[in-house]
Every structure is written in structure tokens, then in C-alpha cells.
Structure 1
Amino acid sequence: MSKANSGSATPLHSVRSNVHVDDLGITSILSNRGITINVDHEIDSDEAKILALGYKQEFKREFSLWSVFAVSFSVLGLLPSVAACFDYQQLVIGISPVPWILAIIFITSVALSMAEIASAFPTAAGTPYAVSQLAPKKYAPFFTWITCFSNWMCQITAAPSVDYSCASMMLALYAYNSSSYSPTTGHVYGLTTGIQVCHAIISSLPTKWLAWFNTAGTSVNMLFLVIVFVMILAGNKRDEINPGATKFNTNSQAWGLTNQTEYPSGLAMLMSFLGVIWAMSGYDSPFHLSEECTNASVAAPRAIVLTATCGGFIGWMFMLAISYTLYDLTAIADDVEGLGQPFVSYLSQILKKDLVNAAMAMTIISGFFMGCSCMLAASRVTYSYSRDGLFPGSRWWKKVSPLTQTPINAVWINFLLGQLLLLLMFAGDVAIGAIFSVGGIAGFVSFTMPTIFKIFFNRGFQRGPWHLGRWSTPIGLVSVAFVTTMIPVLCFPTVKGIDLTLDEMNWTSLVFFGPLLLVTIWFLVDARKWYHGPKSNIDEADFVYHSQDVLEGVENEKVNSNVYTKGSH
């Protein structure tokens, strides 16, 4: 044992394994500093990587590739998502599946680029951690800060928007079966709150139970999606329900565009991408669960790609069924039946009552599982950012329950924030609709930020075992161009000129850019003094520095000349 600079003896720690950070080929907050991390137990490659990234292994790795995919596919929730997004696609550009095809091509490019990033930085912090390592060093804290809050806004709006849609469908189904009932805003809020409470309780359970629950949820989602798809085609009775109608639409009717906005059709089609973007959101979930899955640097990116590609194709097939069977789009837009939910109105045009009830029941159950997965993913994001000291009260939100080994506090603060967001429904349909488009924009900003810096400001990016090879830059450029185009488009209202009133205004700009402006001011005024990006939560005593150079500017660092090797000491 050697003497430290202060002359005091440096204690030896019991060591069974050690991680030589610079030998793992990982760009992290600890790399290029000559650090070895001593660990008092045997570790595997997954724990070695998360330690090299600067974090302790606090969760059990009980998610497999399939269970991680199960969570992300459940978050995708294609059946309830398509049902919830009629307002943002069919009621904007019509029933054609063309917008879905085009949107999926670009959304998949975003997912592929993010998957490559996830392989290189397999941590629950997700894209902000990557930004901290890829952005120009001088500005990295600011861009990491912005990416964190953008991604966080995407996550905390997900569960409330899904649960709101689920509650709306439940009450619409009740109204469909009871002509004397008409849902009120208070009813929707109360039911949504009940669903949120259930999801918060479930998301607080141990990881093993969550893995089982989400696997079951994905199986249910897939099964119900297939059943409803078959019901729409095989159970189609629109020629009997609507006298004089044909059983299916012609090709020209099914594939034609019906512009229901005051903008040119091309712009209207871009606006309708919101329905696809929101329906497809969730493919980032494996990134945030990478600290809970085995072989994370491969499983997480594979799950991202599987979610985007499989979800995109299956969703398109479902849209195809709708385009050939929907009867009267105008009646749905005008809500002639007073149901308040377009998907229920659509089903009532083509299916007998018993089948409508069955299809909606399966859609609602799928939506319940989807909302639970959204809350689970959001809690991991809040936990990981609190671990870096991002939020006021971070010391509370980063706590991991010793009983369940899950971040229960993060779950419940997200629940409270979700309840506040849901108050927007009392300001009208357009106001509550902003949480859908905010989720789309916020997600896109956070998903694409590391790709921008990887392409244009590469600070020595070391790709992980899953990568795009020579296609990395071309695909990245396509994803960046798409996101840059879509951000302003998603802020457009569907009407303009004298028709644009407060009730018809798209409040996305205020709900997203307002908070983003506030956190920017917060950073410039105060946070820049103390926030420097992700920070390690590993005990300093477990670090061994192998170079005197890295000690400069580090307070209270102690030099230990012993070079630890694997084994007991």
C-alpha cells in the first residue's frame, strides 16, 4: 500500500472483480481517465458496461430480448393507438393508407439511428447520456439538459394521453349501449384517474412481476389486434347496416386522399403524420430498460428495431382494413351519434352491435396494458435523470425501494404530474389534444439529438456491437431531415384565417415550447453553475487512477499504486 499525497494511508477495499474502463471500448463520463473500478463481487459483461458508463447496477436484469420487446410493443399498443388517433389521421387526410406508408419509412430511420446509439450507450438515461458524450464539450451540458427535459416531457405525457383515450373509449362504449347517457368531462377525468392509479400500483411492483405482466400484455395486444382485424374484414356488414352501400370501398375510394383541412393536400398529409407518430411512439422504451435486460447492448437495439418494423407493418395492414371498410367519414367527423370517440363510430357503421362491443372491449383492454407500459418506461426515465441530479428533489425520485428494487417514488411523482396534465381536458378537446402532439415533438427532439451530434460533431463515437455500418450516416441524415420538417408541421392548427379561434388553436407550441423556454432560462440563470451532465453514482473509494495527470483539478483524490487484478484481495 502506498501513501497518498496528504501522507495518510489509503485503505484497501475488498475486491473480487475490477473494470478497466478504457479497455471496454466505451465512450463515457469515466473514459480516457485511466480509471479502474473495484467491485466486491463477480460481475458479468452487462454490469461491467454499466459500471464503465458510470453507474452502479441497481436493478435486477430480469428482462430478456423478448420481454423488453414486449414492453415496447405494449407501449406501441397499435390497436388502441389507431383507435385513439382517428382525429389526427383519418379526420385530417381521409382513410388512405398512403400517409402511414410514407410516415413509417421516416419513423423507421429515426428508430434505426437511435438503436445504434442505444447499443453504444446501454443505460436507462437514454439519449441525453449519448448527447453528453457526443456534443461539443463546451456546450454538452446545455444540450444534454434540453434533451433530458424534452425526453422527459415525451415520457410523462405518454401514460396520461393513453389513459385518457382508454377512459374515453370506455365511456363512449357505454354511451353506445345506453342512448340516455352522454359522457361528461368530469366522468372522463374521474375514470382516467382510476386507470392511472392502477397503473402506478402495477409499475411499483418488482421487476420480475413487471416482466411477466408486460409479456402477458404484449401477447394480449397481439392476439386482440389479430382478432379485431379479422372482425373488421369478416364481420363487415356495412352493406346491411347502411342500405345501398357496397360491402367494401373501391380502390380509388380506399387509396384516395380526402383533405379535410384548409391547407394544401401535401401539407395536410404531413399534418396527418401525427397519428402515425403517436401510434408508433414507444420504440424507445428498450433504451430506458437497458439496465434491466441481459446482453443490453444487443438486446435493446434489436428490440427497438423489431418494434419499429413489426409495428409499422402490422399497423399498415390494420389501416388497410379500415380504408376498405369505413363507410361515412363525414358522419364520424360530425359525431352524428354523439359518442365522442371516432373509432366507436367507425365500428358502428360496419359491425353488428355485439361485434362492436367485443371489438371495443378488446381495444380497451389493450389500451390498459399500453398505458401501464408507458408509466413503467416513464418511471425509469425520471429515476435515471434524478440520479444525475436534474430535478428539484432528485434525492427522493432516485431512490430504489429495497423491497421491490424498483423506483417507486419516481412512479408516483409521474402519476401526480400526469394528473395535472389531465386537467387540460377541462379546457376543451383541442387543449387536451396537445399532449398527443407534445409527445410526438418532444420524443422526436430527444430521439434525434444524439444522431445530429454523431454526424456533425463526432467526438470519437465508439459504436456498439449493433450498428448500421456504412449506412449509419445516410440513415441518420434522413431521420434528422424528417424530424426538422415535422416539428413545425405538428404545431399547425387544422384551420386558418378567420376560422382560427381559441377553441380551434393548436396549443402544442405553448404546451411544449413554453416549458422548454422556462428550463432554458433556468439553465442560463442557475443550472449552468451546477449541472454538467450525467454524473457517476459509484463510490469514489472504488476508483483507482493509473495516471497522475487525471488527478489535476480533482478534489480529495487519493493515489493507490496497487494495480488490482481479478481475484480476492
Structure 2
Amino acid sequence: MTHSSTPPPERIPSKGVSQGTYTDTLERSTGRFASFAVAFAFVSIATGIFTTYGSVLKSSGPLGIWTWPIVIVGQLAVALLLGALAARIPVTGYAYQWVSRLANPILGWITGWISFTFLAIVAVAVDYTVAATVVPALFDFTGTALTSFLITAAILLLQGLLVAVSTKWTERVNNFAVSAELIGMVALVVLLFIVGVFTHKLSAGNLFSRGDIPAEGYWNFGTATAAGPWMLGFLLGAFTIVGFESAANLAEETKRPEVVVPRAMWQAVLASGVLGFLFLLVVTAAVNDPTALAESGTPIADVIRDILGSFVGTALLILVAIAIFACGLVIVMSGVRLTWAMSRDQRFPGWQALHKVSPRTKTPLNATIAMTTISAVILGVFSTSTDALFILFSAATLLPAVIYAITVALYIAKRRQLPQSAAFSLGRWEIPIIVVAVAWLVFALSLFRDASFRQPWLYVLVMVAIGAVYLGYLLITRGRDGLKMPELRSIDTELDQVSGARGVAEDVPQ
């Protein structure tokens, strides 16, 4: 079918687990920019580049930045495939909902649990960055494990309070932060280029330098337990360009989600990719000593200060702090929505309380408390480790790759059975996009064979084991039939049914 000029209804009931429909209890008020801002804030190039640039200089040298365009192409392909699913299954819970319907409720539950595991730890990872690097640099003090723990806990609490109190204000704060990040990053690229050219501080040779990384074996794929030096550079983009699907986790709160959500996802990846690469090029060209810079806790800020002065360098740190706060805020909100969605299906521990929406705030208040508390516990577990930041970021890079691989594999297997959607279709580009996405995900997962990811893999296995225990409990108490999910349905059919139902209701005499 094709959409008429009449806008679709604001509320779209989705087929439910046992009753026939979900009760649409969340307000549908999220617009196009807010949806894009959610996806863009989660990706947050300011957060990702600021956090991992030094690691890339150590592992791959400045030449490692050229892995970024490849990551963008791969992740854009993944975003387009996930967008095709989001247009057809616009229900809060994203990968959990998609896999439950494409495969079966058991694999769907596992994917949902892995997604929750990712969101719980990445919230800590990004907030920990503010505490461990940004705040000490801003206020010129040496951070400790205790100060990092306390600052991170305070940020988590503030984010949790905002998400609990008001979705509208959460989106307003995020919209402001994303606008500031977009304007700030563009301004930095322009200023760095202009001032760098006039002061002769830009060197094109830096863009093709290995730093102090030996030439021998630099381009190798690596061994069974170690990735090659240049290959490790892919982690810069692999950590940064993730979370774009968070826009789909607010599908039931988004106006025209079948149109808005897929667009928000691929636009966030493309915008982040282009702007992020321009920033990487100009920053790397401005590096004076790559080897010395790699040892800094704030290498990006050091380069900015050298070219633009201490005032702009400090302004950058403030911008990064705002971007990281917004990133963590969106992650907490996305984790809350996933917890609420699984609880609504009676499939999350403590669902009896977590599926409720507060009549006063119109938010999943109990789910927000649970999400914030669990992230705080994870923070407590990792806060005593001297390598806490690396472990957190490594796990936060590994988990989305696993989630994307599961979802894309199922899309490939079930794509001919998917309901049609006039709002978003890949058309003749579907097969090329699938080829690119599969090649990228296979390569990305191969990077995590490196021995440095042993602890992140251990974390994943522990969390999966915890989830397996609860899944076993669900199967024993309810049986396989007790976990059934609704069939796949076309969003266009849903819209027609809602329009028809409203038309009938309007014709009934009062």
C-alpha cells in the first residue's frame, strides 16, 4: 500500500503476548529530531574519539585512523538492515522484539538479556570516562579509584533521576547536548584546519605515520590469540559507531515510527561517520609527537590546546563532558525501555514491579530504579581494577557486535517472510547491503580473539550464565508455550486497522 496525505494515527497498538494487544501506556510524543538525537547521542563521536584515540595511537599509530571509513561502511550496512526491521516491528525492546519474532522467544530472550548486559555496562563505561579523564583534566587534579567511583556514581544517579522524572525533559536535555555536539565538532574541525594552516602546525605526513609501531607485521591479520597492529585500530570505530538502534527502543513513543526510526538510525551513523572522520584527519595532522601523545590521558584535548590555546582546550573538555553525559543519559533511558518491555512480557526478573508505568511521571519508574541500581553494582565491581576503563570499553565493544550478528543473521534467514512496509524498503540494494554487513561483522568479531579481551569475554560469560539460570526457571515454570510471541505483522496493516477502528468508533451514536 502507499501512504495517503492524511497522517497516521498517533497511537499504534502492537500485538501482545497473550491478551492480543499491548496497552500503549507510554506517551507518543518523540519527533524526528528527538529520535535522531537519541541515536546520535548514543553513538557520540565526541565520547568515542576522546576516549579511544590514545589507545589507537599506542596500538596502530596515527595510520590507524584509516580504519574509520571501513567501520562506517560496515555499520551503515548494519543500520540499514536493522532499520528495515524497525520499520516492520516498531515495538519497544528492539533486538529482543525482533529476534523473538524472527526466530523464537528463547533466542529472543537471550538476545534481550545480552542487550541489557550491554546497556548496563556501557552506561558505566561512558560515565566512568568523565570521572577518570575529563573531570581531573578540567579541575587539574590526579584522579584515584575512589574519586572515579564517586563521580561516576553521582552522574549515574543524576541520569537515573532525569529519566525517572520526565521523558520530555530527558529529550530536551539530550536535544540540547546533541545540538551542542554537532555545532561544537563542526566548529573545531574548521578552527583546527584554519589555524593549523596559518601557523604551519598541520602535517599531512602524520596521516600516514605508524608512530613508533614497527613496520614488520604491521598489516598482518595476526595470530590465533592476537590481532595485528593496524587491525586493532578498528576498535576506534567499533566502539564509537554503536547504539544507533537505540532510536528503535523508543518506537512506541515516536510519532510515525515506521518512517522516523529507520531514518534516524542510518542518518546518525552517516552524520557521525563523516563528521568524526573529518575531526580525526585534522586532529591527527596537528599531532606534534604521536609517541608522546599516546601516553596522555587526554590526547585530543592536548592537541586542541596546542593549536587553539588553553581556553578552547578547556571549552572542548566541557563539550565532551556534555556529550558524554547525554550519551550516558540515552543509554540509561534505552536500558530502562528494554527492561520495561521484557517485564511487560513477564520475562525479566522482578517483572511484577518493573512493568509498571508511573501514573504521575508517565515513565517506567521502577524499571529506571532497577537499571540505575544494576549499573551502580557493575561500577562497584570494576572500580577497584586499575584497568577498569579498558575492561568496560572492551565489553561495551564486544557485546553490540554479538547482538548485531544475531539480528543480521536472522534477517537474512527470514527476510522473505517479513511483512511489507511502504515506509522503508531496501529494494534492489538489499543483497549488496547484506554482503557488506556480513563481511564487516565477521571481521569485527574476529578482532575479539585478541588475548587482551579475556576479561571482557569472562564478564559476558558470567552475565550469560546468570541469564541462563533465569531462562531455565521460566521454561520450567511456564513451559515453551508460555513464552510465545505474536506473529509478524505489517506496520501498514496495523495503521489501516487502527484507522478503521477509529472510523467505526466515530460513527457509533453517543
- Please report the TM-score for the alignment, with normalisation by the length of structure 2: 0.84
Give the 3 Å change call, closer, same or farther, for CA 490–374 of structure 1 in structure 2. same
Show CA shifts across 1:27-50 (max 9, x none). Answer: xxxxxxxxxxxxxxxx96453453
Larger radius of gyration: 1
- Counterpart of 1:280, as a letter, is I
Equivalent residue number for residue 356 of structure 2: 399
Equivalent residue number for residue 463 of structure 2: 515
Which segment drifts farther, 64-73 or 365-374?
Answer: 365-374
Which segment drifts farther, 521-530 or 158-167?
Answer: 521-530
Which of 30, 34, 38 is the equivalent residue of 1:67? 34
Which of 100, 103, 119 is the equivalent residue of 2:68? 100
Give the 3 Å change call, closer, same or farther, for CA 418–525 of structure 1 in structure 2. closer
Equivalent residue number for residue 299 of structure 2: 342
Shift, 1:51, TM fit: 4.7
Equivalent residue number for residue 217 of structure 1: 177
Matches of 2:56 and 2:21 in 1, distance apart?
Answer: 43
- Alignment check: 8 A CA contact 2:116 2:339 kept: yes
Matches of 1:430 and 1:388 in 2, distance apart?
Answer: 38
Show CA shifts across 1:153-211 (max 9, x none). Answer: 22222221111112223333146x4xxx3211111111111111111111113333233
- Please report the TM-score for the alignment, with normalisation by the length of structure 1: 0.76
RMSD: 2.9
Equivalent residue number for residue 291 of structure 2: 330
Identity %: 21
- Alignment check: 8 A CA contact 1:104 1:276 kept: yes
Give the 3 Å change call, closer, same or farther, for CA 353–207 of structure 1 in structure 2. closer
Equivalent residue number for residue 426 of structure 2: 468
Matched, 1:408 2:365: yes
- Counterpart of 1:80, as a letter, is T
Shift, 1:263, TM fit: 6.7
- Alignment check: 8 A CA contact 1:132 1:533 kept: no
Equivalent residue number for residue 132 of structure 1: 100
Which of 202, 209, 216 is the equivalent residue of 1:248? 202
Matches of 2:50 and 2:198 in 1, distance apart?
Answer: 19
Give the 3 Å change call, closer, same or farther, for CA 364–114 of structure 1 in structure 2. same
Give the 3 Å change call, closer, same or farther, for CA 270–534 of structure 1 in structure 2. farther
Which of 25, 43, 58 is the equivalent residue of 2:25? 58
Equivalent residue number for residue 77 of structure 2: 109
Shift, 1:117, TM fit: 0.6
- Alignment check: 8 A CA contact 2:11 2:28 kept: no
Matched, 1:142 2:113: no
Shift, 1:289, TM fit: 0.8
- Counterpart of 2:407, as a letter, is P
Show CA shifts across 1:377-421 (max 9, x none). Answer: 221111111112222101212111111111121112111111122
Give the 3 Å change call, closer, same or farther, for CA 307–196 of structure 1 in structure 2. same
Equivalent residue number for residue 298 of structure 1: 259
- Counterpart of 2:239, as a letter, is W
Structure 1's consecutive aligned runs of 4 or more residues displaced over 6 angstroms after TM superposition are none
- Alignment check: 8 A CA contact 2:53 2:236 kept: yes
Equivalent residue number for residue 376 of structure 2: 419
Show CA shifts across 1:96-117 (max 9, x none). Answer: 3311011111111111110111
Equivalent residue number for residue 243 of structure 2: 282
Shift, 1:141, TM fit: 2.5
Which of 357, 363, 371 is the equivalent residue of 2:328? 371
Which segment drifts farther, 362-371 or 118-127?
Answer: 362-371
Shift, 1:235, TM fit: 4.6
- Alignment check: 8 A CA contact 1:286 1:300 kept: yes
- Alignment check: 8 A CA contact 1:163 1:371 kept: yes
Equivalent residue number for residue 445 of structure 2: 487
- Counterpart of 1:215, as a letter, is N
- Counterpart of 1:86, as a letter, is Y
- Alignment check: 8 A CA contact 1:231 1:355 kept: no
Residue 189 of structure 1: SS of its match in structure 2?
helix
Show CA shifts across 1:219-249 (max 9, x none). Answer: 111122223333433454997xxxxxx6112
Show CA shifts across 1:306-356 (max 9, x none). Answer: 111111111111111112111222212334xxxx33333444444432232
Where do residues 492-511 of structure 1 align in structure 2 (5 Å cutoff)? 492-493=450-451, 506-511=454-459
- Alignment check: 8 A CA contact 1:115 1:302 kept: yes
- Alignment check: 8 A CA contact 1:327 1:350 kept: no
Equivalent residue number for residue 159 of structure 1: 123
Give the 3 Å change call, closer, same or farther, for CA 528–255 of structure 1 in structure 2. farther
Matches of 1:357 and 1:414 in 2, distance apart?
Answer: 32
Matches of 2:124 and 2:284 in 1, distance apart?
Answer: 29
Residue 233 of structure 2: SS of its match in structure 1?
helix
Give the 3 Å change call, closer, same or farther, for CA 109–247 of structure 1 in structure 2. same
- Alignment check: 8 A CA contact 2:115 2:399 kept: yes
Which of 27, 31, 44 is the equivalent residue of 1:77? 44
Matches of 1:125 and 1:413 in 2, distance apart?
Answer: 16
Equivalent residue number for residue 342 of structure 2: 385
Matches of 1:107 and 1:114 in 2, distance apart?
Answer: 10
Matches of 1:463 and 1:490 in 2, distance apart?
Answer: 36
Aligned pairs, how many?
473
- Counterpart of 2:11, as a letter, is E
- Alignment check: 8 A CA contact 2:138 2:314 kept: no
- Counterpart of 1:187, as a letter, is T
Shift, 1:62, TM fit: 0.8
Gaps of 5+ in 2: 222-227, 487-502
Matches of 1:528 and 1:65 in 2, distance apart?
Answer: 43
- Counterpart of 2:164, as a letter, is S
Equivalent residue number for residue 14 of structure 1: none
- Alignment check: 8 A CA contact 2:100 2:108 kept: yes
Which of 161, 165, 168 is the equivalent residue of 1:208? 168
Which segment drifts farther, 454-463 or 389-398?
Answer: 454-463
Show CA shifts across 1:77-135 (max 9, x none). Answer: 22122101224433321223311011111111111110111001001111221212222
Gaps of 5+ in 1: 1-22, 25-42, 240-245, 495-504, 537-563
- Counterpart of 2:292, as a letter, is A
Matches of 1:85 and 1:307 in 2, distance apart?
Answer: 20
Matches of 1:259 and 1:475 in 2, distance apart?
Answer: 37
Matches of 1:157 and 1:290 in 2, distance apart?
Answer: 23
